[in-house]
Each structure stands twice: as C-alpha cells, then as structure tokens.
Structure 1
Amino acid sequence: MSKHDLAARPIFHHTRDSIEAHLTIVFAALAVARRIQNQSGLAIANVIKQLRPLRTSTITINGTTQGFPPEIPAAQRDIIARLGIQIAY
C-alpha cells in the first residue's frame, strides 16, 4: 500500500491541532484499508475498483421515496461477504 492508494496529499496545516487531526485521519484511513485488505485477501485498490460501481438509486415521486439497490454480481458479493457485510435485500 502506498501514499497514492490513500490519495494522501502534502500537509498544508499550520497549527498543531490541525496537523494532529490530519494525521489522525490519515492513520485511521490506513488502518481501515489494512483491515479491508486482510479480510478480503485483495489489494485495497482492487477492492475499491470492484465495489465503486455499486450504487443505490433513490427516487422521489409525489412525495413518495423509493430506493433501488444495485444488482450485485457474484464476484462483488464474495468480497462483501469476506468483509463481513450482510446485504439487507
């Protein structure tokens, strides 16, 4: 995993609090990415590439809101299952 995988950028913070907050977010992102890699057995870039297209659509007509979940292919279902996420529909 590299800095590029986390989309990390140079720090442009000047106060100690903002620098510490930035580093906290970066290390939290690193921890989450490592956990996803360990649980899925895939590189984080691969997980993101495969799961990014999955989107839920929400439409409101005449005050009634309806959600339309994505159709999830088997390969993506396997990744989701390895991450311990249960699909509600």
Structure 2
Amino acid sequence: FATFQDNSFEGNQGLCGEQLLKKCIEHGGPSFSPPSAPDVDHESESLFELYWNVILIGYVGGLVAGVVLGSAFYPDVVGWLKRFF
C-alpha cells in the first residue's frame, strides 16, 4: 500500500497505519469482530417438510404421465380403467 497516494484511502475511516496520516492506537491490528453465522435451526426441518409441494407435484405429474403414456402404448389399459372407474 506504500505506492498508493493518501487520497486513495479517503472515505474509509477504519484504515490506519504507517502509510497513512492516521496512526493506529494498538499495533495488534484493527479491532473488529468477525461476522457471526445466523441462528438457523436446520435440524427441526426435514427435506420432506421443505419440499413437500415439489414432491407432490412430481408424484401427481408422474402418475398422470404414466396413465397417459400407458393408455397410448397399451390400449387394453383403457378398457381396464373403464371397468374399475
């Protein structure tokens, strides 16, 4: 950072050091706390609870597609469905 001019650091009040006009009080580095992870409880949520609607849509879509394709390739299935439904 020694090659940068002082005006390159304008607007960042947290910077200090030998290269800048603002000297650091502590030589241990800047005092900041690292960001903490958000408190999210993933253990109580199962995969089924999160994606139940996607699973349901896939199941119903597969069932409808199976009946339609089955009736197209096997015409006897239509007669079987008419007898039971």
What TM-score, normalized by structure 2, do the two folds share?
0.32
Higher RCO, Cα 8 Å, sep 6+: 1
What TM-score, normalized by structure 1, do the two folds share?
0.31
